[in-house]
Amino acid sequence: MKTKTHRQKKFNLSPPSMLAVGFLSFIVIGTLLLKLPFANKGNLSWMDALFTATSAVTITGLSVVNLNESFNHFGQFIILLLIQSGGLGFMTFAILAALSLAPKIGLRQQMMAQDSLGQTSLSKVTFVAKGVVIYTLFFELIGVVILSTSFIPIYGFDRGLYYSVFYSISAFNNAGFSLFDNSLINFQSHYLICLTISTLYILGGIGFLVLIDVKQNKRWSKLSPNSKLILSTIAILNLIAFILIWLLESNNPLTLGSMPLGEQAMNAWFQATVPRSSGFNTIDTGAMEHSTALLMMLLMFIGGGSLSTAGGIKVGTFVVLLLCVLSFLRRNEEIRIFNHSISHETTYKALAVSAITGMLVFIGCFIIFLLEPKLDVMDLMFEVVSAACTVGLSRGVTSELHDGSLFILSLLMYTGRLGPLTLAYLIATPKKSRLKHANANIQIG
């Protein structure tokens, strides 16, 4: 009996630990599968396999190899499975597996799901987990149908349908993996393909809680404050980014400058919305002005909605930080949004998420700069932010990096997908103390 109790305690992992182990397991299994002789074409190193598997599971999209040249159809199918697994999330799979074995999940499993899905009500966990799967498959199916009308006439039925399935899954999960060596640049003048893919990754980046809320309530006045905040902020960010990128790149002959007005608008919109976390590009990212690259790094850092396939610190976190600053400047005692107050705990979480992500980016840049002294600093910084925020955009230097740099980027993608708050819980388990201390007068500013 003692031995059994000891074993139970030994494997009694916390929810963040379980999440970390789950994603790591997917990465290890994915790496082994991609290295199988019948998955690749014989020119894949272990680091390439690890980097590709990590990028797929964390739905980042950075790639050090050309998927068509390095993987056969089986290998590409494995990558799709890893993308779908990472998009749905390990904990969602765990919940659905438990539901298939028993009518109700236990309290501990509910607590684990609560941490993973960001739910405050245990009764909603099962509902949200089912919603995640249903919404994912529904939007991916619609994407396949629409994209088929464009890809099949170009490539034939079999190949066109295959491309439609691959890009629909990659887009909705904000993975950004492409079967072409230049992402979607070949389709920069194809309105239906560009708009369909951009719609898919925008929907995937909004967040499943928001999508469920919109379906249930339908009217703006009935939506939750969180849904209103996410929808309005994403719309504003996309509009501002669209205008700025169009203005910054309209005279650049290597990007938008050589296009007709309509194509300029469409491609500016695509590049304005893609930093939510998608990783696709319809123009040469490496040829963009440095000012545009800096703007896109900010957008990548902000990311998309919580409980979505997007990365970054999340839109809600960004808005809470802004409201916190405005409330301090206005000397307001509470932070308010849509006639609701934001708790101090939420503010602390927003500060923690932003600070940890910022530190990860700084440490990643510092190490990569040391390892790659000959490459352009802007290109390397762009790569680090893209990896840490699980976006997948690149200025074309990924294939030039050494194995050490690729390993650092893999770690950044892994920690970025876990979430900085989960990482903080892993590193420092919260400890409560009844001891109260006197206030310290610390000078700020």
Name the region of 72 (left: φ>0; alpha: ψ -120 to 50; beta: rest).
beta
Instruction: Extract the tokens encoding 53.
Output: 């598997």
* Sequence-ordered list of residues with C-beta below 8 angstroms from that of 350, at least 6 positions apart, any chain: 313, 316, 317, 320, 321, 324
Q: Which of 261-290 are b and which e, b meaning 16 or more Cβ less than 10 Å from the residue's Cβ?
A: eebbebbbbbbbbbbbbbbbbbbbbbebee
Element (H, E) at 78: helix 73-88
pLDDT on residue 340: 85
Element (H, E) at 404: helix 403-418
> Do residues 172 and 387 lie in contact, with contact meaning Cβ atoms separated by under 8 Å?
no
pLDDT on residue 344: 85
Task: Using alpha carbons, select from 35, 53, 52 the residue that is nearest to residue 44.
Answer: 35
Instruction: Extract the tokens encoding 325.
Output: 């600053």
pLDDT on residue 8: 47
Residues of the chain below pLDDT 70: 1-15, 90-125, 420-421, 423-434, 441, 443-445
pLDDT on residue 187: 95
pLDDT on residue 265: 96
3-state secondary structure of 33: helix
The Cα diameter of the chain in Å comes to 76
Share of the chain above pLDDT 90, in %: 63
List the domain boundaries for the chain. 15-425
pTM score above 0.85: yes
- For 129, other C-beta atoms within 10 Å of its C-beta total 26
Name the region of 312 (left: φ>0; alpha: ψ -120 to 50; beta: rest).
left
pLDDT on residue 111: 58
Distance separating alpha carbons of residues 104 and 106, to the nearest angstrom: 7
> Do residues 169 and 204 lie in contact, with contact meaning Cβ atoms separated by under 8 Å?
no
pLDDT on residue 378: 96
**Which 8-state DSSP code applies to residue 335?**
E
